[in-house]
Amino acid sequence: MSQVFHTEEFANGLTLVAEHIADVSSSAITISLPAGVRFDPEDRAGSAAVLAEWCFRGAGGRDTRGLNDALDALGCQHHESVSSRHMVFLSTQLGRNLPAVLEILADVLRRPTLDDKTFAPSRDLIRQDLDALEDEPAKKALMQLREKFYPEPLGQGIYGSQESLAALSPEGLRDHAATCMSPAGAIISVTGDFDWDRLRGLVGEHLGDWSADAPLAGETRPPARGVTHITKDSAQAHITLAHATVTVSHDQYYAAHLAATVLSGGMSSRLFTEVREKRGLVYHVSTSYHSLKDHAGMFTYAGTVPPKAQETLEVTVGELRRVVEDVTEAELAKAKTQLKSSLVMRGESTAARAGAISSDWYHLGRLRSLTEISRAVDAVSLDDVKAHLQQWPARDFVMLVIGPEPLDTSCLNA
């Protein structure tokens, strides 16, 4: 399958990447600004999350309602999120409305109102999100696991804390916005139905003369790591584990991805078969790969009723380790088929592709075609997977559990 990619690097440091997808009438846009939690001032964690919310409360002379109504009238569905590195605006719409949506989003990027009046509710929503996390123990466990796994503050929870949110002020956050809402290092990805020359022209017109210095990220500190138990009278014990692996740009990346698929891709995977199907220990168990630019981990979750938690932990850790010894050619072949099929199927979604090419540009500085990925997947041998697993063993776990009782963690060191 041939893909049509376009890239344009503007002088101000902004990169536009795009993939034309035939036979669709939608288009998707992601705008990734170097304004993620990584850039939150040290005592003001949660800045990025509040800012992402605040940005959509008026821009370019429109008030909150004017801005939202303008996007709504274009059938635009937008969503703001924050990652370690980026503040991300995702927007989907019909391709014919793309130019008008881009013009409005350019206002959000360059001319957000950020007035005092709308600051308090923006912060209050994030404060409520933080509160709501207490009612979602599985999500909270995985968020806090990342915090302890990655060097600080790379894995920091996006909502900050009650104290850090209370420390935010409209003036301080406006200053923060001025330094980190910058084209330098920003990536815009567009997929689906568009005309490249027109798109490039529009982005140049609206954002080409936007200039600001690249934000400076502070030093990182070693992660907290260790074993954490958070006592909660919950129905399940929510067990999470993380161990280190290679990043997206590493030459063992595909081997790592295939190993994760053998462990957790589909219902015949190792973890699903051994922990759920053969032993009935859990409803949900999975391992997923997650990568920042310079650090990556395999993140495992298992949720079970407390009486079965100890056995669940031991069986899960056992499976994460056993795979290096006895992974088979058949399992590898199956994992390859799964990865390649899901690539094609995800390739049909404009929103999924917009995320994928943006991530490619950030991690690799180029766009990978589905053919390139397929070939790279095919080229991985069983020995490659084993060598990778030996080099990056399931050891030195960071563990975090939310549940009624602490678990015996001696199996982590066995």
Q: Which of residues 286-325 bind another protein (CB under 8 A)?
A: 303-305, 308
Of 85, 148, 238, 295, the residue at the interface with another protein (CB under 8 A) is 238
Q: Which is nearer to another protein, 61 or 75 (CB)?
A: 75
**Token couple for 179:** 């330094």
Q: Which is nearer to another protein, 248 or 305 (CB)?
A: 305
In whole angstroms, how close is the CB of 85 to another protein at the nearest point?
Answer: 25
Report which secondary-structure segment, H or E, holds 338: helix 329-346
The yes or no reply on residue 230 touching another protein (CB under 8 A) is: no
Which parts of 135-154 interact with another protein (CB under 8 A)? 135-138
The yes or no reply on residue 257 touching another protein (CB under 8 A) is: no
The yes or no reply on residue 252 touching another protein (CB under 8 A) is: no
In whole angstroms, how close is the CB of 274 to another protein at the nearest point?
Answer: 11
**Token couple for 166:** 């209370």
d(Cα 12, Cα 28) in Å, to the nearest integer? 23
Which amino acid type is present at position 127?
A: R
* Phi then psi dihedrals of residue 290, to 5 deg: -140, 135
Interface with another protein (CB under 8 A), residue total 75
Q: Which is nearer to another protein, 216 or 267 (CB)?
A: 267
d(Cα 171, Cα 160) in Å, to the nearest integer? 18
Q: Which is nearer to another protein, 144 or 182 (CB)?
A: 144
**Token couple for 375:** 């070939």
- Classify each residue of 297-307 as buried b or exposed e, where b means 16 or more C-beta atoms within 10 Å of its C-beta: bbbbbbbbbee
Q: Which is nearer to another protein, 68 or 161 (CB)?
A: 68
The yes or no reply on residue 404 touching another protein (CB under 8 A) is: no
The yes or no reply on residue 125 touching another protein (CB under 8 A) is: yes
Q: Which is nearer to another protein, 11 or 120 (CB)?
A: 120
In whole angstroms, how close is the CB of 337 to another protein at the nearest point?
Answer: 4
The yes or no reply on residue 94 touching another protein (CB under 8 A) is: yes
Task: Order the strands of the 187-192 sheet from edge to edge.
Answer: 4-9, 15-20, 187-192, 26-33, 87-94, 77-82
Pick the stretch among 92-100, 176-184, 216-224, 315-323 that binds another protein (CB under 8 A): 92-100
Report which secondary-structure segment, H or E, holds 239: strand 237-245
The yes or no reply on residue 4 touching another protein (CB under 8 A) is: no
Instruction: Identify the three-state secondary structure at position 144.
Output: helix
Which parts of 327-366 interact with another protein (CB under 8 A)? 334, 337-342, 344-345, 347-351
The reply to whether omega before 153 is within 30° of 0 (cis) is yes
d(Cα 340, Cα 370) in Å, to the nearest integer? 8
Q: Where are the beta strands (DSSP E) in 305-405?
A: 398-403
Which parts of 19-78 interact with another protein (CB under 8 A)? 22-26, 57, 64-65, 68-69, 71-78
